Structure 1
């Protein structure tokens, strides 16, 4: 039986030039791979091209792992690794398997004895948390909040209360086209003294990171439009 290959978890650029944000060791490992498990083949090819990938893109293997991939299909994605080939796991932006598909495949890799190696690179969630000034010792990521207004309000109040009770920073995201709706909901639902951080366009020249109390955000609200953003909430 062949020795299994290694599954490399390759962070992708969250904005701007991939070559400018990838450490040399990550780029070196990336450029040695010819099999990739990707969230979106088109964006993966764009990333590889921007990162200076040296091999012809027509000659590499790309297997798709997205939100629609069935659990029953995961063994097929693992097959190249079990046959001894190294593979790279790429998400559309940032760290794979963090707020993106991939966790179940990684778990299966561990079960089958496939080495898993995370590579260093951009993560929007960690960049936002680092720059927020909020509690970095205890934090929780909640993904997307409910779309329905009343359910979203209830969730925000729940997160705010839990933040105060457990001294935890609450982190969440939204589809960019609903950013302004979410910000308005936060400003309407939360207490005056709650801290709210908006981290938008991370790693881009237009990057904006600002932490203020809710009462201060209400005086000078920010219109994000469709800028990719991470939101953080903290109340003591």
Structure 2
């Protein structure tokens, strides 16, 4: 059971009391990443009631709303395109609509808006302008792929789409070589094998799951390693955007314990202005030794 269902939860979930959507509020609404049944009743209510919906692709979102029974021909909320190429011009228009009292929803092509899409910029602008922003939680490829991967979920980082060019992508992977948290990446199908080859070359044959068609009938999670995924996708070309869950780097092996050398390094850190506690922490991170033991060593020498 996660902490949300334990004693750490301050209050139990309850139905929303205030009517939604409320005027002048920006709603971030999570939409299905594959299975239409994943749209929540609250999300349906908000999407049906707002005056306009900002979306990446009006045709695709129009089809989604039609499939959900929320838009019939030209009836229903007004759809406005909002993507990376028009966000600078569109944001003032959307802020003006909020200021005029409109309820506004933002959706992505699939999943929770604001992650690897322009929703993030609009939220910042709305907050700066003093507007209320409410997230209607919903499906997310990031967490769906992560928790079903079998890899550690307690600590993870999201890296999104890496640079499309090989040199830049490998440089970014080199920066991630020592990252010990589980990593979640996005990739387009036509670049997936290139990314997998770079993962193998730069980070080695780590545990990996490549998830595609999440929540759909033919959901697929390919692994359990980088090399196994390469072999699979060379036989079966990937289709659809993929979410990769990659194991983090193993913790470094502790260096041999050398009291004299470690004590000298601790004293050097103190001379540089670090407190005893900070010096022990920095050296623990550098050597892999216990911070408590290093702190005790420092005071033994005092």
Relative to the length of structure 2, the TM-score reads 0.68
Q: Aligned residue pairs: how many?
A: 226
CA distance in 2, matches of 1:52, 1:100: 25
C-alpha displacement of 1:144: 1.7
C-alpha displacement of 1:211: 4.4
C-alpha displacement of 1:106: 0.7
Q: Structure 1 segments of 4 or more deviating over 4 A?
A: 215-218
Counterparts of residues 1-236 of structure 1 (less than 5 Å): 5-16=24-35, 18=36, 20-53=37-70, 57-58=74-75, 60-159=77-176, 161-163=177-179, 167-192=180-205, 194-214=206-226, 216-217=228-229, 220-222=231-233, 223-234=236-247, 235-236=249-250
CA distance in 2, matches of 1:57, 1:179: 38
Q: Aligned pair in 2 of structure 1 residues 63, 70: CA closer, same or farther (>3 Å)? A: same
Q: Which has the higher contact order (CA 8 A, sep 6+)?
A: 1
Larger radius of gyration: 2
Q: Aligned pair in 2 of structure 1 residues 154, 112: CA closer, same or farther (>3 Å)? A: closer
CA distance in 1, matches of 2:63, 2:229: 37
CA distance in 2, matches of 1:233, 1:127: 14
**8 A Cα contact 1:4 1:114, kept in partner:** no
Structure 1 portions without partners, runs of 5+:
none
C-alpha displacement of 1:148: 2.5
**8 A Cα contact 1:45 1:57, kept in partner:** no
RMSD over aligned Cα atoms: 2.3
CA distance in 2, matches of 1:95, 1:157: 29
**8 A Cα contact 1:187 1:217, kept in partner:** no
Please identify which structure carries the higher strand content.
1
**Bigger shift: residues 63-72 or 75-84:** 63-72
Q: Aligned pair in 2 of structure 1 residues 4, 28: CA closer, same or farther (>3 Å)? A: closer
Structure 2 portions without partners, runs of 5+:
1-21, 251-302
